[in-house]
Amino acid sequence: MAIRKVFIANRGEIAVRIIRTCKALGLETVLAVSAADRDSLGARRADRTVCVGPPRSTDSYLKIETIVHAALATGADAVHPGYGFLSERAPFARLCEEHGLVFIGPTPAQIEAVGDKLRARHEAIAADVPVVPGAEVNSVQEAVEAAARIGTPLLVKAVGGGGGRGMKRVDVLGDVPHAVELASAEAAAAFGDPRVYLERYVSSGRHVELQVLGDGHGEVIHLGERDCSVQRRYQKLIEETPAVGLSQRLLDDLREAGVRFAKRLKYRGAGTVEFLVDCERDCFYFLEMNSRIQVEHPVTEMVTGFDLVAEQIAIANGEGLRMRQSDVALLGHAIECRINAEDPAQDFRPSPGLVSVAEWPTGEGVRVDTYIQGGSRVPPFYDSLMGKLIVHGSDRHAALARLEQALAATRIDGVATNIDFHRKVLGNAEFRMGGVDTGFVTRI
């Protein structure tokens, strides 16, 4: 049965973005909203909304049974989870399938395979993809012994983690026990899984990820890489494609490795294989795979011309891959800035509240994905992301010039934002040269 009605189990800018593609495809949309999002832009643009609970996500957007029941009650054929919330929860995907709902994403087994960081490492090794030297640990004593072998600096990482939560850097071996206890407690609170493992910390590394599409039967293509090295506390702020300053050999090897990893899983849908590029050794290591659409997917769309959400829906609808690798051409350069309601002067503290003025740029090569307009409210219950400013140019120089103009034309009043921070980054000589590492933000 062809998909006709899509239930969107998300909010904010990604909900608005999914609705846009569904409308272009002639699909009806139903949007799940919490009590805090009843009057959101997504709620106004969807064909129908269903309130799934109180403002806090644990009482609404994360209630698996409630979401599935709402999708069924509204006659939806399929569920799009967006990113975050339930997008990488295998029990959610499984419950959707058990009730005859098409889950627009990978299979539950694939989500489980990459959601467990240790299992993902094993899959990478089996696919002949290099991994960061590290060790599985089941106790503080094992961690101390493993750390002595690996050496410092190193990272203690949550097995079920992501977004920097459950991750601690260790520079002195004597700090290992405390770091393991902190990371384990944080991981248990955030993910319900206290397990951690150790990895060597690469002091001069770049975060480079590969966008892949798979048909679920072993056919996989890539749509180029994205450099996401401008980040704070492991949270991305600026993403761009293509990655500059890397040798063609390394890029070719990285792309082949990402495709090889996804092929091993017979991956279905859109996914991102993330790598850490060791600048000093001119090599790369597998980090993890995100089994969902990424926040930064628009830069890939800008250089390829493909609508990734439309491709997700086509694959979920049984149409398979609608292009071959030879059909993918990476044209020009694209950069994305995440516009957040946060105060960089106060250690990027979230700044929820009422947006009195929202002026977004327009023009050739400029795209804005947002749910914020004048009069919109940034709730205190969710991520601080208000929107994404994306530009495209014939090359990186042209894209940077266009981004400077776009940021200058962006005005958000009523809440603190990181717009001036982005302008500061663009004015930095090291950033303008390209190829900064993940420690860049701490140096400016």
pLDDT (tens digit per residue) in 385-408: 999 999 999 999 999 999 999 999
The conformational region for residue 84 under phi > 0 = left, psi -120 to 50 = alpha, else beta, is left
Q: What is the rounded distance in angstroms from the CA atom of residue 321 to the CA atom of residue 262?
A: 14
* Confidence band for 1, pLDDT divided at 50, 70 and 90: low
The whole-angstrom separation of Cα 290 and Cα 201 is 21
Nearest to 55 by CA among 39, 68, 41: 39
Of 148, 173, 200, the residue that ends a domain is 200
Same domain, 296 and 157: no
Do 146 and 219 lie in one domain? The reply is no
Residue 281 and residue 156 share a domain: no
Q: Specify the pTM.
A: 0.92
Instruction: Give me 35's structure tokens.
Output: 């009590």
State which H helix or E strand residue 426 sits in: helix 419-426
* pLDDT tens, residue by residue, 360-380: 999 999 999 999 999 999 999
Query: If phi over 0 gives left and psi between -120 and 50 gives alpha, with beta otherwise, what is residue 37?
Result: alpha
Residue 109, in any domain of the structure: no
Give me the CATH number covering residue 155. Answer: 3.30.1490.20
Determine contact, residues 210/225, Cβ cutoff 8 Å.
yes
Whether residue 363 sits in one domain with residue 240: yes
User: Which of 153, 184, 200 represents a domain boundary (last residue)?
Assistant: 200
pLDDT at 280: 84
Please give the residue range of the domain that contains residue 216. 205-443
Q: Mean of the pLDDT values across residues 242-260?
A: 97
- 277-306 average pLDDT score: 95
Same domain for 210 and 196: no
Quote the CA–CA distance of 28 and 14 in Å, as a whole number.
17
- Count of structural domains, the chain: 3
- CATH code of the domain containing 296: 3.30.470.20
Q: Kindly list the distances between the CA atom of residue 109 and the CA atoms of 84, 115, 187, 260, in Å, as whole numbers in the listed order.
A: 18, 10, 22, 18
Contact 210, 220 (CB under 8 A): no
**203 against 305, higher pLDDT:** 305
Do 209 and 190 lie in a common domain? no
CB 176 within 8 A of CB 147: yes
* Same-domain check for residues 341 and 419: yes
Catalytic residue among 232, 255, 292, 338: 292
What percentage of the chain has pLDDT greater than the value 70?
99
Distance CA(157)–CA(208), nearest Å, equals 19
119 is catalytic: no
Give first-to-last CA distance, the chain, whole Å.
54
212 and 187 co-located in one domain: no
Read off the CATH number of the domain in which 22 is found: 3.40.50.20
In a domain, residue 118? The reply is no
Q: How far apart are CA 100 and CA 283, in angstroms?
A: 44
Q: Is the pLDDT of residue 279 over 90?
A: no
Asked, for residue 190, whether it belongs to a domain, the answer is: yes
Please state, in angstroms and rounded to a whole number, the distance separating the CA atoms of residues 9 and 15.
Answer: 8
Residues 180 and 151 in one domain: yes
| Claim to verify: residue 247 and residue 157 sit in the same structural domain | no
Same domain, 193 and 180: yes
Separation of CA 377 from chain center: 23
Nearest one of 93, 68, 78, 6 to 42, comparing CA atoms: 6
In a domain, 230, yes or no: yes
Residues whose CB falls within 8 Å of the CB of residue 375, separated by 6 or more in sequence, listed in order: 354, 355, 356
pLDDT above 70: residue 130: yes
Domain assignment present for residue 301? The answer is: yes
Residue 175 and residue 218 in one domain:
no
